């Protein structure tokens, strides 16, 4: 579909939105991010839901980690689980493809793209063979409605399918049963990004009159069936698919508890109401275009993490043992390296009822695995990315006053994760040298050192909160290890070996990545990782540069040094100088200007990033959304504050990118942000007032926001 056709259909849908036109759901464009590197999916989900039925147009490749690209015109089928915006493919469980027999066999996989549309809780498309597909979902149950052109109908049920990452096997073993003419159930054990086991039940509202089992291809360990139906006069076939991490009986209980009926429209309306409830927690005054980007960003933020506990609260943990989740909450799809920065702090403001459950999940994982999680999908850790950033998540929740988890237990987990070596950390090596030497750790040594330093600061701050002075002292010292890698010549952090010698040769503009170009940095270069310690110790970083003037010069150089051979596979995407908005290590850097000699430069840069790298079209997201982190950055930028140090309980202030925003807080209060004289071209924020009192520093605390009130920016022309 061409972009003009897409936009025409989108605004037509906006004008004719049924039932919920007064709600912010009408602004959500679920196709935003599905074309290019955003890697989002268009299918429906509940907020924080276990299932996400959506079309899979390919099952492998970096471009299809969500299973879908907007430009694709053919479909493999519609599977029930997906990750949003990740850089590696996973999930794609239980693929179904409705089709009719035609002389042109290829028609069964071709899409009529002009008919494709979606909104929160609903997706539909016509296939070229005449079948209309509609999808919706409850939390644990996907529901499909197929309308066929004839009363003779076929459905491919493929249990071998999955969205693959560097594997041609996927399913290790399976047990799938045709229980009766209406029901298929079973389980699959897969090895992909990680190892996991999922259980399912598939139920049809019409009896299957014939089942053909397809011949298994090489390395296939799960069946594929073609099911044949004779439909009533309506020519409609309904399907419900429930999943569980525990057992088939658990999937059946989920199905009975959530969707015991066959009313597709009822499930759809319930999903739309759930989205309206969350999306209406913020109101903004902005043009329609910006509202579309803003509320779509909120939508993407709230897709995950996913509550994978069954309706009875049982779940399968990382030790493959069945356990009972407190309050029936156990969260997964935790892209922790990404979301600790902005997505989790934003959830604390907008979905605080989920925060204690997420924190308890981190601690339950620690209890089972012996250390806090790194990156979990379906409850299993794939150990992707570096650092131990569940630590700042726990520290943030505790600092911001969430009490639904044991803070002392959290500190114990943080200390154990930071002192007992595990798959992601060699603490003996780190403590021996005060950094990770590149001749003992041949990949990401600098990035691992710098990110461990931030985690160490978070442990120290948590210890201070709990008056544990001995632990605080140990980790305050470790939090300064980053200085051991500072190179006075390049004024950057540079790899150092066990003899204390800096790496040679050294190219500060060369980006490295563990999969594509191994080196000392993680999907970034030396300039981009220089600013990592600024999350927790900006004064210390500034001292290395000669104070505030040196900090300003270094920021100016960073945003003006031209990128060389920018490669999106190395995190070099959406560039301004060395700033790479397409990847997380850069996300806090423009906000650091608030503490420089030129805060207005930061305001101008933030406005430029918002306008150049975020749009309301399918290709309007440059860089992986990474389970809502990119979207959270955009929301914070519009509101005019950002968690540079996510665990500190403070947000750095800058010029808002909307005229007015109002947040409905969970305590019944409201927090309002107003930009006076917002229409001023290239306006900067000159002064900021909170409830009539001038803010003396460019920051605001979490508790100040939760107290409600009005934050007013006096805008004026940038110097």
State the number of CA atoms in the 13 A half-sphere of 237 facing the CB: 30
Is the CB of residue 146 less than 8 Å from the CB of residue 236? yes
What CA–CA distance (Å, rounded) separates 445 from 440? 9
| pLDDT (average), residues 676-688 | 85
What tokens does 284 get? 């903004």
Q: What is the dihedral of CA 47, 74, 613, 713, to 10 degrees?
A: -30
Cβ-contact 199, 247 below 8 angstroms: yes
Alpha helices in 219-354 (DSSP H): 248-258, 264-279, 288-301, 336-339, 343-350
Work out the pLDDT band at 719, boundaries 50, 70, 90: confident
Give me the pLDDT at residue 22, please: 54
Determine the Cα–Cα distance for residues 174 and 314; give it in Å rounded to an integer: 22
Q: What is the CATH number of domain 3-279?
A: 2.70.98.10
Q: What's the pLDDT at 683? A: 83
pLDDT cut 90: percent of the chain above it: 94
Q: Is the pLDDT of residue 2 over 70?
A: no
Which residue ranges does the chain devote to CATH 1.20.1610.10?
282-713
Do 622 and 40 form a contact (C-beta atoms < 8 A)? no
Helix (H) or strand (E) holding 160: none
User: In angstroms, rounded to a whole number, what is the distance separating the alpha carbons of residues 41 and 615?
Assistant: 17
478: Cβ–Cβ under 8 A, 6 or more apart, which residues? 431, 452, 453, 456, 460
Closest CA to 593 of 540, 556, 635: 556
Residue (of 520, 455, 514, 518) closest to 492 by Cα position? 520
C-alpha dihedral, 487 to 490 to 495 to 497, nearest 10°:
-50
pLDDT digits (tens, 9 = 90+) for 514-541: 999 999 999 999 999 999 999 999 999 9
Torsion over CA of 399, 403, 409 and 411, rounded to 10 degrees?
Answer: 0
**Average of per-residue pLDDT across 612-624:** 97
How do residues 450-480 score in pLDDT, each as one tens digit?
A: 999 999 999 999 999 999 999 999 999 999 9
Tens of pLDDT, residue by residue over 348-364, are: 999 999 999 999 999 99
Average pLDDT over residues 231-241: 98
Return the ∠ at Cα 113 (arms to 109 and 118), rounded to 5°.
105
Helix (H, G, I), strand (E, B) or coil at 562: coil
Position 718 confidence tier, pLDDT thresholds 50, 70, 90: confident
Which pLDDT does position 7 carry in this prediction?
A: 54
Q: Is the pLDDT of residue 372 over 90?
A: yes
- Is residue 20 very low, low, confident or very high in pLDDT (cuts 50, 70, 90)? very low
User: Which residues of the chain are in CATH 2.70.98.10 domains?
Assistant: 3-279
pLDDT at 679: 76
The mean of the pLDDT values for the chain is 96
Helix (H/G/I), strand (E/B), else coil: 468: coil
Task: Give per-residue pLDDT as tens, 94-111.
Answer: 999 999 999 998 999 999
- The Cα 266–Cα 272 span in angstroms is 10
Handedness of CA 276, 282, 283, 289 (dihedral sign): negative
Report whether pLDDT(676) > 60. yes
Peptide bond into 63 cis (omega under 30): no
HEC assignment per residue over 636-664: HHHHCEECCCCCCCEEEECCCCCCEEEEE
Has this prediction a pTM greater than 0.95? yes
DSSP conformation letters of 601-615: HHHHHHHHHHHHHB-
The pLDDT assigned to 580 comes to 98
pLDDT tens for residues 241-288?
Answer: 999 999 999 999 999 999 999 999 999 999 999 999 999 999 999 999
Nearest to 247, CA basis, from 300, 192, 193, 314: 314
Q: State how far the Cα of 86 lies from the Cα of 63, in Å rounded to an integer.
A: 10
Positive or negative, the CA dihedral 705, 350, 462, 313 is: positive
Pair 204, 239: CB distance under 8 Å:
yes
Strand partners, 715: 685
CB 339 within 8 A of CB 386: no
How much is the average pLDDT of 384-397?
A: 98
Q: What is the pLDDT of residue 17?
A: 52
pLDDT of residue 243: 98
CA–CA separation, 413 and 486 (whole Å): 30
Strand order in the sheet with 670-676: 282-285, 660-664, 670-676, 709-717, 683-690, 693-694
- For residue 546, give the DSSP letter: T
Task: Average the pLDDT over 638-646 and give the result.
Answer: 98
- Superfamily for the 282-713 domain: alpha-1,2-mannosidases domains (1.20.1610.10)
**Residue 21 pLDDT greater than 80, yes or no:** no
Residue 260 neighbours by CB under 8 Å, 6+ apart: none
Please give the Cα distance from 379 to 295 (Å, whole number): 28
For the cut 50, the answer to whether the pLDDT of residue 133 exceeds it is: yes
pLDDT at site 16: 44
């Amino acid at each position: 579909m061409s972009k003009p056709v897409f936009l025409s259909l989108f605004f037509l849908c906006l004008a004719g939105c049924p039932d919920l036109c007064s709600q912010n759901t009408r602004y959500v464009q679920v196709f935003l991010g599905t074309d290019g590197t955003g890697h989002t999916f268009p299918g429906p989900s509940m907020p924080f839901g276990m299932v996400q039925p959506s079309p899979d147009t390919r099952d492998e490749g970096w471009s299809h980690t969500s299973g879908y690209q907007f430009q694709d015109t053919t479909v493999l089928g519609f599977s029930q689980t997906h990750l949003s915006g990740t850089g590696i493919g996973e999930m794609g469980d239980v693929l179904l493809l409705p089709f009719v027999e035609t002389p042109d066999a290829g028609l069964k996989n071709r899409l009529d793209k002009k008919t494709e549309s979606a909104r929160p809780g609903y997706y539909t498309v016509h296939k070229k063979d005449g079948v209309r597909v509609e999808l919706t979902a409850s939390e644990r149950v996907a529901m499909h409605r197929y309308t066929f052109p004839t009363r003779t109908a076929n459905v491919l049920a493929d249990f071998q399918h999955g969205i693959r990452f560097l594997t041609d096997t996927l399913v290790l073993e399976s047990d799938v049963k045709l229980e009766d003419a209406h029901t298929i159930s079973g389980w699959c054990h897969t090895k992909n990004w990680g190892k996991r086991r999922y259980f399912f039940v598939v139920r049809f509202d019409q009896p299957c009159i014939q089942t053909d089992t397809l011949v298994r291809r090489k390395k296939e360990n799960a069946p594929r069936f073609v099911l044949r139906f004779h439909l009533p006069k309506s020519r409609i076939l309904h399907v419900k698919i429930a999943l569980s991490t525990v057992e088939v009986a658990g999937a059946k209980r989920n199905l009975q508890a959530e969707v015991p009926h066959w009313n597709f429209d009822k499930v759809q309306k319930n999903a739309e109401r759930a989205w309206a409830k969350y999306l209406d927690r913020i109101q903004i005054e902005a043009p329609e275009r910006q509202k579309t980007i803003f509320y779509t960003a909120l939508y993407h933020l709230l897709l995950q993490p996913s509550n994978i506990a069954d309706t009875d609260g049982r779940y399968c943990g990382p030790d493959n043992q069945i356990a009972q989740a407190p309050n029936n909450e156990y969260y997964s799809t935790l892209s922790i390296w990404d979301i600790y920065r902005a997505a989790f702090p934003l959830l604390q403001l907008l979905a605080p009822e989920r925060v204690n459950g997420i924190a308890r999940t981190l601690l339950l994982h620690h209890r089972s695995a012996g250390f806090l999680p790194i990156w979990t999908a379906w409850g299993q850790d794939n150990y992707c990315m570096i650092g131990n950033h569940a630590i700042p998540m726990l520290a943030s929740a505790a600092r911001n006053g969430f009490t639904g988890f044991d803070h002392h237990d959290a500190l114990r987990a943080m200390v154990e994760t930071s002192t007992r070596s595990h798959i992601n950390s060699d603490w003996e090596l780190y403590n021996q040298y005060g950094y990770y030497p590149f001749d003992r750790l041949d990949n990401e040594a600098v990035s691992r050192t710098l990110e461990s330093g931030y985690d160490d600061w978070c442990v120290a701050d948590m210890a201070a909160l709990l008056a544990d002075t001995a632990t605080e002292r140990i980790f305050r010292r470790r939090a300064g290890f980053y200085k051991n890698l500072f190179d006075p010549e390049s004024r950057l952090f540079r790899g150092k070996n066990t003899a204390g010698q800096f790496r040679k040769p050294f190219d500060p503009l060369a980006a490295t990545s563990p999969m594509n170009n191994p080196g000392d940095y993680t999907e970034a270069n030396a300039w981009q990782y220089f600013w990592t310690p600024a999350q927790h110790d900006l004064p210390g970083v500034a001292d290395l540069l000669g104070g505030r003037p040196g900090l300003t010069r270094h920021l100016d150089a960073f945003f003006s040094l031209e990128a060389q051979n920018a490669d999106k596979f190395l995190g070099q995407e959406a560039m301004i100088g060395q700033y790479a908005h397409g990847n997380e290590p850069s996300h806090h850097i423009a906000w650091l200007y608030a503490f420089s000699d030129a805060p207005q430069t930061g305001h101008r840069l933030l406005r430029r990033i918002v306008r150049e790298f975020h749009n309301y079209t399918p290709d309007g997201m440059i860089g992986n959304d990474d389970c809502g982190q990119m979207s959270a950055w955009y929301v914070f930028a519009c509101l005019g504050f950002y968690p540079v140090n996510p665990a500190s309980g403070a947000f750095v202030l800058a010029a808002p990118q909307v005229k007015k925003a109002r947040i409905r807080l969970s305590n019944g209060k409201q927090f309002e942000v107003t930009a006076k004289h917002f229409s001023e071209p290239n306006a900067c924020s000159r002064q900021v007032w909170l409830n009539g009192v001038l803010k003396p520093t460019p920051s605001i605390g979490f508790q100040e926001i939760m107290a409600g009130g009005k934050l007013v920016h006096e805008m004026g022309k940038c110097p």
